[in-house]
A = this chain, B = another copy of it.
Amino acid sequence: MPKSGDIPACEGTGEARCTAPTKLIEHAPSAYSYPLLIKHLLHTPLRHAPDQEIVYRDRVRYDYRTFDRRIRRLAGALAGRGVRPGDTVGVLDWDSHRYLECYFAVPSMGAVLHMVNIRLSPEQVLYTINHAQDDVLLVHADFLPLIESIRDRIERVRTIVVMVDDYEVPATSLEVGGEYEALLAAAPEDYDFPDFDENTRATTFYTTGTTGLPKGVYFSHRQLVLHTLAGAAAFGASAEQGRLHRGDVYMPITPMFHVHAWGFPFIATMLGVKQVYPGRYAPETLLTLIETEKVTFSHCVPTLLHMLLTSPAGANTDLRAWKVVVGGSALPKGLARAAYDRGIDVFTGYGMSETCPLLTVAQLTPAMLDEPADQQVENRTQTGLPIPLVDLRVVDAEMNDVPRDGKSTGEVVVRSPWLTQGYFGDPAQSEALWQGGYLHTNDVGFIHPSGSLQITDRLKDVIKTGGEWISSLEIEDILSQHPGVGEVAVIGVPDDKWGERPLAIVVPKAGHEGSLTQGLLEAHLAAYADKGLISKWAVPDRIVFTTAIMRTSVGKTNKKALREFYAQQAGEGSGA
């Protein structure tokens, strides 16, 4: 049998037809071929929904016709400021209509959009701006002090454009090359985006691992167009639940600098839906926008959903028409249940910075929607099923598939047409990412017999105790279901006898600060162990109560920092 990548040769037949290379690819790209460019995502909305609205907070509201004219003006303005194909344009902004304009205008000129992570430290922001070789920066007024503080060490940037919400540029020591709206107003609206190779780099941003310097990943036009098509197909395919369709109103609650807000702004634009951009994420603003703009579809990390559900401002907000994809880290069952009980269509999406990001989504079949709440929460918190074209496997160290039995774990590895091919300027890390033809996610999980993936932990967060692997996420999940637990993190701490032992760090819910005890939580865990749902050695030896859990700049639990802190504490304790 022929193997992948090995087209059988025409040996032995000796016939004229055996001219495979020519005949096989007779259909070569020609002048008629149609490159997959981001600009082509605009054909449908401009015909389906030219009057549909794009909204920025309570400040700006315009239609897709205007959007199209504005991205052409923006491209014209940038070209006028010397931006050429291959240049890199860095953006520092809150979630806005301006950012959406940059998503389309900058790559469609042939330039590269650098979505600067504004939550990094000034030193890290400086590093990314220099490493990505930004030529131009578009900076919201709120970030002028940040840029001022690092200006002297920025290497390449030749123009800074200021973006303001109030048409008033604040005083700054920077040499400013114009204000965004003024530049657009002065630019012609007939800029015609060129055709070029679909493998041209379109976007870049930096992942914020818990180790080392930020790592730059990048995506091409082809990758973003295919991600958009497959995402639209996946969110359109569900019979009832978790759909994104033309009747929806979309609002991101994952920052636009973070993996293109998971790619949803591209999908929403292609579908021509109403889009709402909320600026900075204040729970009151988000809840007000959901209510007044009738937002029906969002995505966020668990922390943000938790903030919205516990915000006093939202106690009476009707969220029953709201769908929310939760990703970035595991959706705890307790949080999913709280959202479900509010009537929210909550479900899991999975992906990572390196994967553009969408890989799987946990959509429910109509039959599953008839199941009791507990079972629905179970299904909604699974990692989900692959979206079209995603080849997702769970493998052992030798790249053999583990059984799809709902318990055998292994590393999740993937192929799809929209995975980053490496870290910018870092061949060693890139090579570690790709092994055996698959991108290695560093996530550990298993596949349910239903086909659905369940991530159980990060490879590096697995707690190795006495030769067994304990999933830190599983213990967190069980603890999160106790009524007194607000937030929780479980980590491994060094142990002389077992290698590692689990430690739980718990933030009690408001009103439970004094009453929640280690004994109560141990009893809660013991009940699960008695039922055989977790092993007895998975029950943490120690539970620490605190008021906040250390997080990374994108809101994920910073387990590396927690491990270091508690390992050191344990060392100091034993040394005292």
Contacts and interface: CB of A to CB of B under 8 A. Distances in A.
B387 A8 contact: no
Contacts of A20: 84-86, 110
A422 to B, nearest CB: 8
Interface stretch (A117-125, A239-247, A553-561): A239-247
A429 to B, nearest CB: 14
Interface stretch (A11-19, A137-145, A521-529): A11-19
A48 interface: yes
How many A residues are at the interface, by size bracket?
A: 35 or more
Interface in A264-294: 270-271
Contacts of A238: 245-246
Interface in A210-268: 218-220, 225-226, 229-230, 232-233, 235-240, 243, 245-248
A576 to B, nearest CB: 51
A200 interface: yes
Given A44-B387, A229-B388, A10 B84 contact: yes
Interface in A343-386: 365-366, 385-386
Given A30-B421, A50-B451, A24 B247 contact: no
A96 interface: no
A25 B200 contact: yes
A191 B192 CA distance: 48
A171 interface: no
A163 interface: no
A184 to B, nearest CB: 15
Nearest to A190: B1
A220 B388 contact: no
A410 B110 CA distance: 33
11 contacts: A2-B192, A8-B85, A24-B85, A27-B199, A27-B200, A29-B199, A43-B391, A46-B451, A235-B236, A237-B271, A238-B245
A236 B247 contact: no
A86 B23 contact: yes
Contacts of A240: 247
Given A7-B85, A27-B218, A199-B28, A17 B135 contact: yes
Interface in A183-200: 188, 190-197, 199-200
A199 B25 contact: yes
A389 to B, nearest CB: 5
A305 interface: no
A65 to B, nearest CB: 11
A512 interface: no
Interface stretch (A411-419, A481-489, A536-544): A411-419
Interface stretch (A32-40, A54-62, A310-318): A32-40
Given A36-B417, A84-B20, A239-B247, A270 B194 contact: no
